Amino acid sequence: MIRNDKIRKAIPNAIFKDGVLISPLPTVKFGYRIRKEPEFIEKAFIKYSFDSVIEAMKNKKIILVL
């Protein structure tokens, strides 16, 4: 829940449903496929810095590769 508060501060129009980020999602690529599942979004937060993932949410041209 702490991360949800930090995301809401960084992106005021972020949409959550039952504590899961719905929109905007960063572009995460795993195994040559774009993934939208919450598990892969969580892995992106673990691998990359918080600011990098927030920037990927704002700019859809940024692709985070796991």
State the total domains in the chain: 1
Around 22, how many Cα atoms within 13 Å sit in the side-chain half-sphere? 6
| Residue 52 exposed, middle or buried by CB count within 10 Å (0-12, 13-18, 19+) | middle
Residue 21 β-bridge partners: 16
Provide the domain limits for residue 12: 2-65
pTM for this one?
A: 0.84
Q: Which pLDDT belongs to residue 2?
A: 57
pLDDT confidence band for 1 (50 / 70 / 90): low
Q: Which pLDDT belongs to residue 33?
A: 95
Around 19, how many Cα atoms within 13 Å sit in the side-chain half-sphere? 4
pLDDT tens readout for residues 4-42? 889 899 999 999 988 888 989 999 999 999 999 989 999
Q: Which pLDDT belongs to residue 55?
A: 95
Q: Which pLDDT belongs to residue 34?
A: 95
